[in-house]
């Protein structure tokens, strides 16, 4: 159970990082 929670948390963190990266990239393109 602990492994599952840790894995899910890692996946959520990765997805959040990727989303933030894409949002920042699109924001930069839009501002230019």
At residue 12, the pLDDT reads 92
| Alpha carbon distance 22, 26 (integer Å) | 6
At residue 30, the pLDDT reads 75
Number of domains in the chain: 1
Question: What is the rounded (10 degree) CA torsion for 18, 20, 26, 27?
Answer: -170
At residue 16, the pLDDT reads 94
At residue 11, the pLDDT reads 92
Nearest-Å Rg of the Cα atoms of the chain is 14
At residue 26, the pLDDT reads 87
Question: What is the rounded (10 degree) CA torsion for 3, 5, 11, 15?
Answer: -170
At residue 10, the pLDDT reads 92
Residue ranges, the chain, pLDDT below 50: none
At residue 29, the pLDDT reads 76
Which residue segment(s) compose the domain that 21 sits in? 1-31
Q: What's the distance, Cα to Cα, between the start and end of the chain in Å?
A: 47
């Amino acid at each position: 159970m602990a492994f599952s929670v840790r894995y899910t948390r890692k996946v959520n963190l990765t997805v959040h990082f990727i989303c933030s990266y894409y949002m920042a990239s699109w924001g930069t393109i839009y501002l230019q």
